[in-house]
Amino acid sequence: MVKKKVIKKDNKKVKANKQKINLVLKNLILFGILFLTSFLLYTISSDELLINLFSLLAIVFGFVVGAFLIILLIFFFMRLIRK
């Protein structure tokens, strides 16, 4: 006897609810503050080690801020299209 395999497809749609948007917005603000702080310390510091450290931190936090900004824009467009 041959058993038939049933493959279930998950057709769940991703919803951009207020809780997800608030979480992304909070993280965007947090990493934005960290980016500005590290950039400010990069411009103020005079030691070469600190300059390298704060410039690396500013680059990393800048990329994270960019990623959260893209996610936030996607959520806003999802809400606009849904309405």
In tens, the pLDDT along 9-67 reads 666 666 668 888 899 999 999 999 999 999 999 999 999 999 999 999 999 999 999 99
Q: 47 — alpha (psi -120 to 50), left (phi > 0) or beta? A: beta
Q: Are 61 and 34 in contact (CB under 8 A)?
A: yes
Full-model pTM: 0.75
Cβ atoms 61, 28 nearer than 8 A: no
